[in-house]
A and B are shown apart, each in its own frame.
Chain A
């Protein structure tokens, strides 16, 4: 079955750029979606179709996808961005989620 691999944790200083990767076989051929989840809350879509931002998502969130790796980039990271982030793709009639990455802003 298809797998998406994310680093378990990423740390970033406030104001710096955070990059969270998501790896999968030929992932660049698929659309990737990214979700942010804060403790005790439902996930929120922050990037869809590789690099599009839903209405209301700050411009500091951006995405890219090429080859075997998709990347969620948060520019000028703020304390409020501390959360778990999940990537998602579609393969063989199934939705697959990455294992999630805990972003720590310190």
Chain B
């Protein structure tokens, strides 16, 4: 069965960086892209961006451009999302999810990774 397993919770100080991993299994990793979505405590879903696992093409939310990097390692079927210059309002649960294209729906989601930014 399709599974996306994310790395564990992180606590970071303002200004630091965080890198979240997402290991996929149960399907051909290079056949689907990976979308990243975050959710601040008690808030709605916010799209962060999408990466093609086949070509490495990326598409980012405008407000995060310049602070976020998305990469994949096809040899281990793992996707990574790095967010730099962390601020307190980056505190959120970060989800990786499978998305055929950036415009398509998201059919499988990881369990989420809580990133807390606090001094």
A99, B44: Cβ atoms closer than 8 Å: yes
Please tell me if B14 contacts chain A, counting CB pairs below 8 Å: no
Count of B residues near A, CB < 8 Å? 21
Please tell me if A95 contacts chain B, counting CB pairs below 8 Å: yes
Report the minimum CB–CB distance from B92 to chain A (whole Å): 13
A95, B47: Cβ atoms closer than 8 Å: yes
Chain B residues near A1 (CB-CB < 8 A): 62
Please tell me if B109 contacts chain A, counting CB pairs below 8 Å: yes
Shortest Cβ distance from A95 into B: residue? B47
A45, B107: Cβ atoms closer than 8 Å: yes
A42, B109: Cβ atoms closer than 8 Å: yes
Q: Which of A59-99 contact B (CB under 8 A)?
A: 86, 88, 90, 93-99
Question: How big is chain A's contact interface, by range?
Answer: 20 to 34
Please tell me if B29 contacts chain A, counting CB pairs below 8 Å: no
A93, B102: Cβ atoms closer than 8 Å: yes
Shortest Cβ distance from B109 into A: residue? A42
Q: B35, B44, B61, B111 — which one has the most chain A CB atoms within 10 A of its CB? A: B44
A42, B95: Cβ atoms closer than 8 Å: yes
Please tell me if B89 contacts chain A, counting CB pairs below 8 Å: no
Known A42-B112, A88-B45, A97-B44; further 8 A-B contacts with Cβ < 8 A: A33-B105, A37-B45, A43-B95, A88-B105, A88-B106, A97-B37, A100-B44, A100-B45
17 A-B Cβ contacts within 8 A?
A: A31-B105, A35-B45, A42-B95, A43-B37, A43-B95, A44-B109, A48-B105, A88-B105, A90-B102, A93-B102, A95-B35, A95-B47, A95-B102, A96-B47, A97-B45, A99-B44, A100-B45
Footprint of A on B, CB under 8 Å? 35, 37, 44-47, 50, 59, 61-62, 95, 102-107, 109-112
